[in-house]
Structure 1
Amino acid sequence: MSFTESVAFALFDWHCSTSRLPLIKQSMEVVHGSLSLRGRRSIDRLPNELLSAIFIFAIDQHCHDESDPSTTSPTTISQICHRWRQVALSIGGLWTNIVLTFPTSNGQLTRTLNWLERSKTSPLDILLDLRDPAWDWDEDTHGFRWADMKAVLTLLLPCASRWRTVELLTDTWAPIFAFLVHTRPVGPSLNRLEKLHLARCNAYFAAKGELFAPAALSQHLPLFGGDEAVVPRLREVTLTGVHIDWSASPLANLTKLELKYHAADVMPSVAQFAQILATCPDLEVLAIVGRGPQFAASNGIIGGTASSVVHGGSSQPDSGTGSMKLARVTQFSFGFVDINYAVQLLSLFDLPALRELNLEDVSASLLFQPPDDAAPLLEWLAAATHDANDTAFPLPDANATSTSNPISGSIESPSTSRLPMILLETLSLHSIHAPRSTFARFFGACAGLHVLRLCEVNAEALVALEGGSAAAKHRKNSVASAAPLPQLHTISARGVDESLLTRVVQGRGVQLKSFDCEGDSGPESDADDDC
């Protein structure tokens, strides 16, 4: 059934459910795919206000992609009849989704101009998807260049005061650079901007040892003019492969901050990163995928000991553990490419309200190699909940060479983790490989867990979920131990041993759900699809 038919029949039901004169059902029929409305006078009784509400609802429930004839768009509505066109053109809120895709055309640009005019004073939601599926990975041969981005901004900048959401997806750096340059003057006018997503969709810059390219354009440009540009409503920011001037950042009062797939050499220092976080006291969602802030250089290598951090906006010497307390962060996603760096970075966070943790070894997808041994990270996280009689595990040296199992024996000092594993309700693990004993200790530290998502983990994780019961019953005089995660009620899994998963689910009596690593709200997955 077409959208027009759906609306017509909905109007028929609406008429029949009121005290108004009902439509005669026989007065509506579909002939050869075309809708014939003989009860015209009754339909015309619908007030413009209700018709407007129906239009807005229809648009909100469908994609606005004009290139897809199966979707509902304002243009479709406005071409039904003269009255519908007049009503549609009077509703600025119908024309607020501005979409430009590669390759851009005169038709797209003309439509954009029309929609900008018809949207009147309504806030705008802008999507610029300028990626080319056929791109050959040569930065200089891409079909969308600096000049093209400048031309697009010529249309959009006059309406900057109406931007509500902006999403810019590119393959190369030149369009991003042009965006940062040409939007510097509009910072003071961005009074409606709520969400910003800038993405250079080339995740491989996050691989260990990779540096930013092209080097000639590596300078850190201020976002919207820098920290003097107050963006009062901006609450959600995602920067994927896009760096800015971190020392003069307008990133303040955010509730969601995501930094993904950056080259290590363009990331902020620990002090700069802490300063940004200090200006976001209401932050609830934090994601760091690939590389986070740079520690002070040690022997020319990024990743030494942090020199200073920020407490409440004032710079102080680094005291180590928990220097960045984020009191309201409930969801933290962390994708790492280096185990030693991962533990050193996490040791800086104090997240007392954490309820959802997503961990991923992204080096596996970036380098097409088996995941590293994540035992040092899992053991370090688990050690925070061990009592004095249990084994505690040290914080790895940032420049130490990772081995298959570098942790052994006990030490006098406890774990420096301030991530409350015992309070977690949801845990997602993607490409995390470790020995069974490590998984067992880690799961033992997450006693309050309700939902567990597993994607491409090794079989040892599932064996650990069984506890000692399954193994003990095959060994004489063995004492079976309880399975970990006593409050677990749901397991979602993908890319794991199906027979082993079935055994675990049946043995524990939990609910099994499948999930898509790319689409789930859990761990990040395919680096190419992260945009």
Structure 2
Amino acid sequence: MYTHPSSPISKLPVELLSYIFALSTHSSADAPNPDDEGRSPLFNTESVKVPLALAGVSRHWGRVAHNTPGLWTSLCITVEMIKRLSEDDDDASSLLNTAHLTSYLALSRNYPLDILIDARDQDWDFFEPEIPSEYEFNTYTPPFSSDHMAFVISLLLPHISRWRSLHILTDSWAPMHSALLHINPCITSFGAPLLESMTLMRCNDFVSFSPEFQPRDMKIPAFLSSVAPSSNKDLLPRLKHLSLRGVHVDWASVVNVLSTSTGGGLHSLELSSHCPDVRPTLTEFQQLLSASLHLRKLAITGSGPFVPDDVDDIVDVIHHDLDAVPLPHLHSITLGYRTALEGQTVLELLNAPNAKVLVLEDATYPGDPEEVDAGSLLTYIGTGEFYDADHNYLVAYELPDGLHYRVAMNKRAVSPFPTSEDLDQEPKSNAAFPMLENVTLKSVRACPRPLRAFFGALPNLQRLELIGMSMHAVHALLPSNPAPSLVAISSCPCPQLQSLCIRGFEQLQMQDFDFIVGGLAAERKDRGACSLKEVDIHVSGQDRGCVAEFKDASGDLKVNIFSRMVEEGEDEDYQELDETDAFEVGGVFNDPVFDAYYSAQASQPR
């Protein structure tokens, strides 16, 4: 009698087969870059289904899979799990299918859990029912409701002692508020002993430009608000990665939790998209940094300490009594500022001499007609100095033969004329981050002089990316003619620069291309700088999908010119729309929901 031979994999020991299953479910190839550690979960809606597929191959594989708890530790809850109970458009009743969730919780036994709750809807139109609006015709109802969120959290809370990572992503505030409202009592009473990474993200960044948090009646209670200041409980001993995007917390309580942690504190911290009235105070922000002395990555965008709008308070804010926080392990800094003062305040609190990566970005409201002059931020990074209350204005004079000097003008002085002492002095040069190797500037507005001061203080810079900048930034990479009185200043900014990437430059002319691919590299090399090895230029235009690649005459420099590529099957009708369509109802410039809400916010007194 003929018998079908068993496959070689069936002869593998159960332990080895179980290990192979684990590799296929939690592939090491998906491991993030060390810089992105803790930022995002290592699984998605597809990868979490792998254990189910493996268990369905055969009875033997099913037994092995069901007895391998590590396969079932990734929990993914999304809007796709919601099923409508009626086809009637007026009936919004729905049911959240949690069969897989309860099965995974049981099969994972006592193993640590990685949780992703993605309540975002691809059809969301930025409307939040809880925020008052003058537009009465919006019938959008978020499919992932507050009740759905509460139900999911109720299933997860009994396992809070196993939570290793928690990522909650929502469009509107109501579901997030529901989640935090149910998690807060449990986590403040019993803690989450295994929690290493937590991301709380409300994806409505536009709301953060409002002077007051919206919706107002859901502003409190803030997350972790019931933690007593004198509490010695180690609630989150393993927390290493914290990301709060559009989600505020009780900042004093967070400081208390991190200060009492025995696990060494945070390695990465991200704060972004916070309305002014829910931001930490200056003291709370300084304490937050002080409780995270092992911080390796810091990202502050549209957040940070609250800075008053009153001009009279500016001097007091900048020249406070708080010391900069020593952060010797800080490797990467991202700062997205909405005002120059906001950026100055954050920078002055950072003592990070070993930082290698810096991203500086203008994070102002896209429709704001006023540009933020970031010259003071660039000057501080380049010189490490803010001028005192009597010297707020830095005036530059250029003399014949390329000579120049700078004077710190006393705004209270009777006479504005410089003294002989002023003529002989140069601002102190003490770069804030002298070890930078990778810098990105995005839409940073400044005149040439601060750009030169910034680039002149980056002796170790190897890669530079300029996004939405002007040619002033490129010209600032050229050597200037230093005055004879200047000493110990390199004749060429960024002498170790090897890679330059340019994106989003408007109205690049042919002479600009010639300068970037020719004159810039040649002149820098003549001044003793390291040869540029690669220049990437991303342009937009008629020749979509075109990529040009060539080398300069010396063969040392490789130049790549990219144009946005249209993928096969991509809808090209968008590019043929008449400009007037943008002004139709619902268009970019005529959105009643957006206009009604933000015009009301803009009219409120500040």
TM above 0.5? yes
Q: Which residue of 1 aligns with 2:316?
A: 305
Q: Per the alignment, in what secondary structure is the counterpart of residue 113 of structure 1?
A: helix
**TM-score scaled to structure 2, two decimals?**
0.66
Provide the C-alpha distance between the structure 2 equivalents of 1:54 and 1:455, rounded to a whole number of angstroms: 44
After the TM superposition, which of the residue ranges 482-491 and 327-336 deviates more from structure 2?
Answer: 482-491
| Residue pair 1:375, 1:435 contacting (<8 A) in 2 also | yes
- The 1-side partners of 2:313 and 2:23 are apart by 52
Q: Following the alignment from structure 1 to structure 2, what is the Cα–Cα distance between the partners of residues 183 and 71?
A: 24
Cα deviation, residue 347, structure 1: 2.0
> Aligned runs of 1:225-264 on 2, under 5 Å?
225-226=226-227, 228=231, 230-249=235-254, 250-252=257-259, 253-264=265-276
Match of 1:380 in 2: 380
Contact preservation (8 Å) 1:505, 1:511: no
Tell me how far apart the structure 2 counterparts of residues 394 and 137 of structure 1 sit (CA, whole Å): 42
Paired positions, count = 442
Select the residue among 380, 387, 394 that pairs with 1:394: 387
Q: Please report how far the alpha carbon of residue 482 of structure 1 lies from its aligned counterpart in structure 2 after TM superposition.
A: 4.5
The reply to whether residue 502 of structure 1 matches residue 495 of structure 2 is no
* Aligned-pair CA distance for 1:468: 5.0
**1:202 corresponding residue in structure 2:** 204
Deviation string 1:209-233 (CA, Å, 9 cap, x unpaired) is 6321111112252428536452110
Pairing of 1:518-529 with structure 2 (within 5 A): none
Letter in 2 for 1:343: Q
| Per-residue CA distance 1:134-172 (angstroms, 9 max, x = gap) | 223221143333222111111111111111010111111
Q: Is the 8 A contact 2:116 2:168 kept in 1?
A: yes
Q: Does 1:410 align with 2:407?
A: yes
Q: Give the C-alpha shift of residue 43 in structure 1.
A: 3.2
* Deviation per residue, 1:404-442 (Å, 9 max, x gap): x97544127987997633221221111113233332221
SS at match of 1:212: coil
d(CA) in 1 for partners of 2:427, 2:100: 58
Quick check: 125-134 or 435-444, which moved more?
A: 435-444
CA contact (8 A) 1:395 1:416 kept: no
Q: Residues 444, 376 of structure 1: CA spacing in aligned structure 2 closer, same or farther, 3 A cutoff?
A: same
Are positions 1:51 and 2:12 aligned together? no
Which whole-Å CA distance do the structure 2 matches of 1:273 and 1:65 have between them?
33
2:125 maps to amino acid: D
> 1:64 and 1:421, CA in 2 relative to 1: closer, same or farther beyond 3 A?
closer
Given that 2:200 and 2:245 are in contact with CA atoms closer than 8 Å, whether structure 1 keeps it comes out as yes
- Answering whether residue 126 of structure 2 is matched by residue 117 of structure 1, we say no
Distance change (3 Å), C-alpha of 1:414 and 1:137: farther
Contact 2:315 2:389 in 1 (8 A): no
Deviation at 1:99, TM superposition (A): 0.7
CA distance in 1, matches of 2:343, 2:479: 28
More displaced 10-residue stretch of structure 1: 41-50 or 150-159:
41-50
Match of 1:319 among 321, 324, 331: 321
Conservation of the 8 A alpha-carbon contact between 1:294 and 1:302: no
- Contact residue 347 and residue 418 of structure 1 kept, 8 A: no
Partner of 1:339: 340
2:464 to 448, 452, 465: 452
After superposition, give the CA deviation of every residue in 1:284-306 in whole Å (9 maximum; x if it has no partner). Answer: 211111121124x5759986734
Q: Which of residues 64, 77, 89 in structure 1 aligns to 2:54? A: 77
1:489 and 2:486 correspond: no
Could you say if the C-alpha distance between residues 231 and 355 of structure 1 is closer, same or farther in structure 2, counting changes exceeding 3 Å?
same
Partner Cα distance (2:216, 2:460) in 1: 47
Counterpart residue type for residue 420 of structure 1: A
Distance apart, 1:191 and its partner CA: 0.8
Contact 1:198 1:238 in 2 (8 A): yes
* Percent of aligned pairs sharing the same letter: 29
In 2: Cα distance, 1:422 partner to 1:374 partner: 19
Alpha-carbon RMSD: 3.4
Does the CA contact (< 8 Å) of 2:118 and 2:170 recur in 1?
A: yes
Answer whether contact 1:255 1:282 (CA < 8 A) is retained: yes
In the TM superposition, 1:92-111 aligns within 5 A as: 92-105=69-82, 108-111=97-100
Instruction: Say whether the 8 Å CA contact 1:258–1:287 is kept in structure 2.
Output: yes
1:68-122 per-position Cα deviation (integer Å, ceiling 9, x unaligned)? 5x99611111111111111111111111111111243267411111111111111
Shift of 1:463: 1.8
Structure 1 residue 381 displacement after superposition: 2.4
Contact 2:382–2:432 under 8 Å retained in 1: no
Q: Among residues 134, 139, 146, which one is paired with 2:123 in the alignment? A: 134
Match for residue 218 of structure 1?
A: 219
In structure 2, C-alpha distance between the alignment counterparts of 1:233 and 1:437, rounded to whole Å: 45
The range that moved more, 490-499 or 131-140, is 490-499
**Taking structure 1 as the reference length, what is the TM-score of the superposition?**
0.74
Out of 276, 279, 282, the position equivalent to 1:267 is 279
2:66 aligns to what? 89
What is the rounded CA distance, in whole Å, between the counterparts of 2:220 and 2:312 in structure 1?
20
The 1:231–1:514 alpha-carbon spacing in structure 2 relative to 1, beyond 3 Å, is: farther
Between the aligned partners of 1:129 and 1:326, the Cα distance in structure 2 is: 33
Task: Give the 3 Å change call, closer, same or farther, for CA 64–333 of structure 1 in structure 2.
Answer: closer
For residues 370 and 224 of structure 1, do their structure 2 counterparts lie closer, same or farther at Cα, with a shift above 3 Å needed?
closer
Residue 263 and residue 487 in structure 1: after superposition, are their counterparts in 2 closer, same or farther (change >3 A)?
A: same
Aligned mates of 1:251, 1:138 — CA distance in 2: 35
Q: Which residue of 2 aligns with 1:175?
A: 175
Q: Offset at 1:449? A: 1.2
In structure 2, C-alpha distance between the alignment counterparts of 1:368 and 1:468, rounded to whole Å = 34
The match for 1:437 is 449
1:325 Cα deviation after fit: 2.8
> Is 1:277 aligned to residue 289 of structure 2?
yes
Aligned equivalents of 2:456, 2:311: Cα separation in 1: 39
**AA paired with 1:150?**
A
Decide whether the 8 Å contact of 1:466 with 1:484 is kept in 2: yes
| CA shift for structure 1 position 319 | 2.6
CA–CA distance in structure 2, aligned partners of residues 417 and 247 of structure 1: 36
Amino acid at match of 2:387: P
Which amino acid letter does the alignment assign opposite residue 64 of structure 2? V
Tell me what 2:533 maps to: 511
Distance 1:219 1:504 in 2: 58
| Equivalent in the alignment of 2:153 | 153
Q: Secondary structure at the match of 1:174?
A: helix
Once the two structures are TM-superposed, the CA of residue 326 in structure 1 deviates from its matched residue by 2.5
SS of alignment partner, residue 81 of structure 2 = coil
User: What letter corresponds to residue 53 of structure 1 in structure 2?
Assistant: Y
Q: Which runs of 5+ in 2 are unaligned?
A: 31-41, 83-94, 130-140, 260-264, 397-405, 409-421, 482-489, 525-530, 539-606
2-structure distance, mates of 1:290, 1:39:
64
What CA distance in whole angstroms lies between the structure 2 residues aligned with 1:334 and 1:416?
A: 24
Instruction: Out of 222-231 and 83-92, give the one that drifted further.
Output: 222-231
Q: Structure 2: which amino acid aligns with 1:241?
A: G
CA distance in 2, matches of 1:290, 1:113: 38
